[in-house]
Chains A and B, each alone.
Chain A
């Protein structure tokens, strides 16, 4: 009923916008990373023609990732922080999502509202809240001192890895729980009852039925928080602000905002993107498949 050209024409402005302001900017990063640096002004001289590209900066950063290299510590620390925070999110998030999806009955809608509330509270506000709480005379230190757990206020905000991980878990866990909750909520109760009827112990039923059925939500939530965590620089800056807790994102931030070295910053950005592209591809594939199923309904 509609003319054939109509739908591509509708898509055109959006596709053009994303091509120019999302895809083309990557080319700007590539041009700067594979370009050169003005020897006197120290500014970036981008190379737009692929024939002029020289790989020096990217190779320099890559060699910094080898044992003994300058970026190895930061890279290892980033991976550590992200994996520990992810583990924290799973350990806290799975029981919470499981309870709300499967057992909360009367209180379910209230719990759901509280579950999505942090989504709409600015990330920066939630970090500010912990800066207030963890400061030397903040509530946390006063409770710990008055209960004699510690004798003097503890410097939570003085470059402690544990504080950064705590803040990362606090910051990202809402984005992990929600997809997990959705996948647990979709599980048909009768399949679990069937497993029980067929003689599976409750634990086995959980292990062989519930857990595999929540796999998509678990992986989806994990990828959803791991990607932004790898690019995070503001969380360590806010709750620690010490070089001993800096992540890859801080390194990029430093090369752009700390000194005139955008070329190395661009090279790190490219390597980080290449590292994350597998995760991004996996996640986009699952969304793509889900929307395909939706369309075929």
Chain B
């Protein structure tokens, strides 16, 4: 520490140790939890050998054979898929609208969009629960899958807006203006110039919405109405409060793999689509492709 204080341009010695210790600490416990999903016995803390019993071998408690675990996995995937389908288009349109609409109500709408990002989830959970159980006509929806979907979309929209709007600002308006100068109608400029440029951000935001929806615990829990609407995080939560079996680790591992796969896929598509820009080729190339 003293050496670093007197000579900060030299390599600081204690900092890399702290940084690497932190990174190891942040990842290794999860790897150990993954390891225990492959345990041969019922223990999640003592290692007895490798097996896939808790994934499909065990006739009662494995993820594949246990109706509760299987149901939770399919409910999680269902919520996430429907969330992506609804939240992505609404979010993309909202991003476009908020970025370019100047007039009464645009400032307030901007703040409204930012609010879900900073509201503690329990506050959102309580308010949606009371909406669906107390306020007519929303009581017709009540709790359950439909309410969970509505809740997931509500917290997802803002994430789509933030990602797409960032891309929108970095694109600028020149391309569309050039297209208009060359005779494109607003519809053509929007669909054939702006949309292709936004595609990487749209794909990335869809992947991220899928990931945050799969990982969400609070909203799913507050709006669930029993075993049929249990999701994977709810299963993990209840299991940790009782006696967790390695099958809990197994379903958690599957969930982590799904989340990581969707984020990596979204990132890869983003890189692929923006490859030309990073290679510093003239972005005007796009116009030639349009045949304008």
Which residues on A are within 8 Å of B, measured CB to CB? 1-3, 6-15, 17-19, 21-29, 31-32, 44, 46, 48, 92, 95-96, 98-100, 103-104, 111, 114-115, 117-118, 120-133, 135-139, 170, 173-174, 202-203, 205-206, 223, 227-228, 230-234, 237-238, 241, 249, 252-253, 256, 262, 265-266, 269, 272-273, 276, 279-280, 283-284, 287-288, 291, 294-295, 297
Known: A22-B154, A128-B33, A284-B115. 18 other contacts (CB 8 A): A8-B105, A17-B157, A22-B112, A22-B124, A25-B128, A25-B130, A28-B127, A46-B135, A121-B256, A121-B259, A125-B256, A132-B36, A137-B45, A139-B45, A241-B241, A265-B126, A279-B118, A284-B118
Contacting residues, chain A, for B206 (C-beta < 8 A)? none
Interchain CB contact (< 8 A) of B131 among A1, A10, A28, A287: A28
Check B134 against A288 for contact (C-beta < 8 Å).
Answer: no
Nearest 5 CB-CB pairs, A to B?
Answer: A11-B97, A231-B120, A14-B94, A25-B127, A10-B97
A143, B105: Cα distance in complex, Å: 60
Check A14 against B217 for contact (C-beta < 8 Å).
Answer: no
Does B67 interact with chain A (Cβ within 8 Å)? no
CB nearest neighbor in A for B184: A1
Contacting residues, chain A, for B166 (C-beta < 8 A)? 294
Q: A238 and B240 in contact (CB under 8 A), knowing A11-B101, A95-B19?
A: yes
Q: A18 and B154 in contact (CB under 8 A), knowing A11-B93, A230-B120, A266-B126?
A: yes
A1, B103: Cα distance in complex, Å: 17
Task: Pick from B106, B130, B153 the residue with the most CB of A within 10 Å.
Answer: B130
Interchain CB contact (< 8 A) of B120 among A132, A139, A276: A276
Check A44 against B169 for contact (C-beta < 8 Å).
Answer: no
Interchain residue pairs with CB less than 8 A apart (25): A1-B180, A8-B105, A18-B112, A18-B157, A28-B127, A28-B134, A96-B23, A98-B15, A99-B18, A121-B30, A122-B256, A125-B255, A126-B30, A130-B29, A132-B32, A139-B45, A170-B29, A202-B8, A228-B120, A230-B120, A231-B121, A241-B241, A276-B120, A284-B117, A295-B99
Check B244 against A1 for contact (C-beta < 8 Å).
Answer: no
A3, B101: Cα distance in complex, Å: 11
CB nearest neighbor in B for A114: B23
In whole Å, how far is B154's beta carbon from the nearest beta carbon of chain A? 5
Interchain CB contact (< 8 A) of B177 among A1, A118, A135: A1
A114, B23: Cα distance in complex, Å: 6
Contacting residues, chain A, for B19 (C-beta < 8 A)? 95-96, 99-100, 104, 111
Interface of B is mostly: helix
Does B285 interact with chain A (Cβ within 8 Å)? no
In whole Å, how far is B262's beta carbon from the nearest beta carbon of chain A? 9
In whole Å, how far is A153's beta carbon from the nearest beta carbon of chain B? 10
CB nearest neighbor in A for B217: A124
Contacting residues, chain B, for A294 (C-beta < 8 A)? 166, 169
Contacting residues, chain B, for A19 (C-beta < 8 A)? 112
Contacting residues, chain A, for B68 (C-beta < 8 A)? none
CB nearest neighbor in B for A91: B18
Contacting residues, chain B, for A272 (C-beta < 8 A)? 120, 123
Interchain CB contact (< 8 A) of A234 among B22, B214, B217: B217
Check B126 against A29 for contact (C-beta < 8 Å).
Answer: yes
In whole Å, how far is B9's beta carbon from the nearest beta carbon of chain A? 8
A12, B96: Cα distance in complex, Å: 11
A13, B92: Cα distance in complex, Å: 11
Contacting residues, chain B, for A21 (C-beta < 8 A)? 128, 131, 150-151, 153-154
Q: A23 and B233 in contact (CB under 8 A), knowing A7-B97, A202-B6?
A: no
Check A297 against B112 for contact (C-beta < 8 Å).
Answer: no
Contacting residues, chain A, for B122 (C-beta < 8 A)? 231-233, 249, 252-253, 269
Contacting residues, chain A, for B15 (C-beta < 8 A)? 95, 98-99, 103
Interchain CB contact (< 8 A) of B16 among A27, A99, A124, A126: A99
Check B252 against A23 for contact (C-beta < 8 Å).
Answer: no
Interchain CB contact (< 8 A) of A124 among B18, B189, B211, B252: B252
CB nearest neighbor in B for A287: B114
Task: Pick from A46, A231, A252 the residue with the most CB of B within 10 Å.
Answer: A231
Interchain CB contact (< 8 A) of B26 among A46, A117, A252: A117
CB nearest neighbor in B for A202: B8
Interchain CB contact (< 8 A) of A22 among B36, B110, B116: B116
Check A17 against B153 for contact (C-beta < 8 Å).
Answer: yes
Contacting residues, chain A, for B120 (C-beta < 8 A)? 227-228, 230-231, 249, 272, 276
Does B288 interact with chain A (Cβ within 8 Å)? no
